[in-house]
Each structure stands twice: as C-alpha cells, then as structure tokens.
Amino acid sequence: METSSDALRNVSDALMRDLEALLVAEQEKRDVSPDDPRLLTLAAEVDELARRVLGLSDRQQDIAEDVHEQAKNGGPNAPTESIEETSTARPMGVILAEWRAAEREMGSAPAGSAEARAARAKADQLREEYRRAYEARRK
C-alpha cells in the first residue's frame, strides 16, 4: 500500500521528469527554423508536457496538503522526512530494474522523439536515485 509520503515522492519524481523533458523539448523547438515541420511536432509536445505538468502540480498540491496535515497533527503514520529523504527508501533492486527498463525504452524509441526524451529523463532520474541509495547503503 502506498503511503502519502510515497505518493508525494512519486508525483514529485514524475513532475521532475516531465519538467526536464519540457525543458529539452522547448530548447529544441527554439532551435528549429520556422519552415521545419518539426516545429509543429515540438510545439504539440511542449503543449502536452505542459498540460501534464499542470495536472501533476495539482495532484502534488493535494497530496502535500494531506502530508502536511498528517505531520502537523502527529498521527501514527505521520511522515517525518522530506521528499528527498524518502527518495532512497525504495529497494535498490527495484530502482535498478526501473532504470534498466527506462534504458530499454530509450533504446527502442525513435531518436529525438518525445518518447526518447521522456525515457532519457526517467533513466537519468533513476540513475541518480540509485546513486543516492548506494551512497546511503555505504554509510
């Protein structure tokens, strides 16, 4: 069962991935000439990512209010760690499996596509999460 702390971490992770993909797509769009058909594709991708970010930020707000209320009231399941501190709570094997899956997605997606960028952002985030979990385990 997912705790509210886990839900907050998961939505925060998704938001970070989508923000990174949005930044990459927007930068690529800025470099495309106006007569290039990719301009329209990239504009649609930016729009889709921005809408997803908005939805995630709404969800994150709801979860954050719930987590804050639990922590403020000191209930038995009240979270005590920041989002960053909970990000290494997952087993390293789970993180590694997700990282490998993201790498496979990246390899099978068409080069330069929205799917490839999203998979790269996810793989980068999972690599960082794995590094933090590894460092925490060493300590």
Tens digit of pLDDT for each residue in 109-128?
888 787 888 888 889 988 98
Q: Which residues of 107-139 are buried (b: 16+ CB within 10 A; e: fewer)?
A: eebeeeebebbbbbbbbbbbeebbeebeeeeee
8 Å CB contact between 54 and 30: no
What is the tens place of the pLDDT at every residue in 82-98? 887 776 567 889 899 99
What's the pTM? 0.69
Tokens of 35: 């007569």
Closest to 22 measured CA to CA, from 117, 103, 89 = 117
Find all residues with CB under 8 Å of 131, minimum gap 6, and list them: none
d(CA 82, CA 84): 5
d(CA 93, CA 91): 5
